[in-house]
Amino acid sequence: MKEDITKKLEKAGIKDEKNISIEDIKSAVADVIVETEEEMKKQTEILNKIKWMYNR
C-alpha cells in the first residue's frame, strides 16, 4: 500500500518531500483506499458469480 500512495503522490506531481503537505498525503491515501475498495468489490462480485454458478 505504501508503494500505491507513493505512486499517487508522484502522479499528482509531488516528488520532493519538501513540497508534500498533509492534504496531499490525505488525498493520496484516500485515493488508494477508494481504489482498493473498488477492486475488492469487483473481486467479491466475481466470487459471488462463481458461487452462484457452482450452486446452480
Chain segment 4-25, per-residue pLDDT in tens: 777 777 776 676 666 677 887 8
- Residue 2, helix vs strand vs coil: helix
Going from N- to C-terminal start, the domains of the chain cover 2-55
Report pLDDT digits (tens) over 40-53.
999 999 999 999 99
52, three cell numbers: 452462484
**How many residues does this entry show for the chain?**
56
Instruction: Give the rounded percent of residues in the chain with a pLDDT score beyond 90.
Output: 34
CA of residue 45 relative to chain centroid, distance: 17
pTM over the 0.85 mark: no
Sign of dihedral through CA atoms 13, 18, 24, 26? positive
Sign of dihedral through CA atoms 15, 40, 38, 27? negative
